[in-house]
Amino acid sequence: MAGANGVGKTSLLRMVCGLAPIESGQILWNDTPIHSQSDVYRQDLCYLGHLNALQESMTVNENLVFTAALAGNAPEPTQLQDVLAHFGVRGRGEQLVKHLSQGQKRRVALSRLALSQARLWVLDEPFVAMDEKGVRMLADLIAGHLGKGGLAVITSHQQVDIGTIAPQMLELRA
């Protein structure tokens, strides 16, 4: 999804996640309105917004374990280490989030995707504060998710190639 700042991209994503009211129409998941199946829908949803949604006073591992627990998952310590290594923040698991750079915080936040079993990823500007290597790594992760039958709704001001699956683009205008 693309469009100028302030045109409503984030608002639309919040509606897709059930976090904001819909003025007209409805959002369906498996042919059923999301509001009538909120528990099922939320189990299939992984939302990452503009903010990293990390607790600064907790360690990286504590943040990841907490978020996974909310989705009913319990990652093994070795799985956490592997995911952090993949996202370029190897050895940061016991570090407090407040001591990470902005780019490292973004990588930790995005590493939740690799731990998520959700079918639908809703990502608001996921490439912000990412270097070129991080952008490629995230694009590959999204491509892998799509290749396994997952879905991704993404806003971005950057044109990023995400594998061989052709995206369906929605451009919002004021």
Give the domain extent around 43.
Answer: 2-172
Overall pTM > 0.75: yes
Kindly report the CATH number assigned to the domain that includes residue 19: 3.40.50.300
Percent of the chain scoring above 90 in pLDDT: 65
**Alpha carbon 15 to chain centroid distance?**
15
pLDDT digits (tens, 9 = 90+) for 132-173: 888 889 999 999 999 999 999 999 877 888 888 778 888 888
For residue 4, pLDDT beyond 90: no
pLDDT of the residue at 13? 92
Q: How confident is the model at residue 67 (pLDDT cuts 50, 70, 90)?
A: very high
pLDDT of the residue at 35? 92
DSSP 119: S
In Å, the largest CA–CA distance within the chain is: 48
Q: How confident is the model at residue 3 (pLDDT cuts 50, 70, 90)?
A: confident
Which of 113, 141, 119 lies closest to 42 in space, CA to CA? 119
Q: How confident is the model at residue 76 (pLDDT cuts 50, 70, 90)?
A: very high
Q: How many domains does the chain divide into?
A: 1
For residue 72, pLDDT beyond 90: no
